[in-house]
Amino acid sequence: MDERQQLAIKQFVSDRTPRPLSAPLLRFDLGQEVAALHAESEYKKGHNARTLIKNDELRLVLVALKGGGRVQEHRSEQPVALQPLRGHVRVQVRGEVVQVHHNELLAIDQNLSFSIEAVEASEFLLWVGWSKD
């Protein structure tokens, strides 16, 4: 095992599920990941999230929202993509509301603020570009 792999194994999501966030190869069962999010107390408050991948170029976060749940306004200096796995969300960007349904993909350009609201119970992947700078 090389030094990068050893370091990746030491980087964990949280105490709830120790696992690497960066490695040459990562595989996820999204059904199990969603079930774990739903089982935690944070989800009962309206939403829960878990970082799946975190490296120098990318962050990938799995988010579960109850109907009416919100992700407050965020701004990323890098591009963002949102891909619902289940459900229907509203994304507000620059005063415009965009409806994004299961099996659709929304790309948001860099330096734009956005917020997300679940129209119904929803899970989505949030892909965030990252930069060392």
Which domains are delineated in the chain?
Answer: 27-129 (2.60.120.10)
Q: How many residues in total does the chain contain? A: 133
Rounded CA separation 64/124 (Å): 7
Are 61 and 128 a contacting pair, CB within 8 Å? yes
Amino acid symbol at 13: V
Per-residue pLDDT, 21: 86
Looking at residues 20-31, what average pLDDT do you find?
A: 90
Computed over every residue of the chain, the mean pLDDT equals 87
Per-residue pLDDT, 115: 96
pLDDT by residue (tens digit) across 52-108?
Answer: 999 988 999 999 999 999 999 989 889 999 999 999 999 999 999 999 999 999 999
Rounded CA separation 120/87 (Å): 6
Per-residue pLDDT, 14: 44
> How would you class 65 by CB atoms within 10 Å of its CB: exposed for 0-12, middle for 13-18, buried for 19 or more?
buried
Question: How would you classify the pairing of strands 96-101 and 80-86?
Answer: unpaired
Q: What pTM does this model have?
A: 0.84
Are 128 and 76 a contacting pair, CB within 8 Å? yes
pLDDT by residue (tens digit) across 76-88?
Answer: 889 999 999 999 9
Per-residue pLDDT, 16: 60
Rounded CA separation 130/55 (Å): 8
Looking at residues 33-44, what average pLDDT do you find?
A: 92
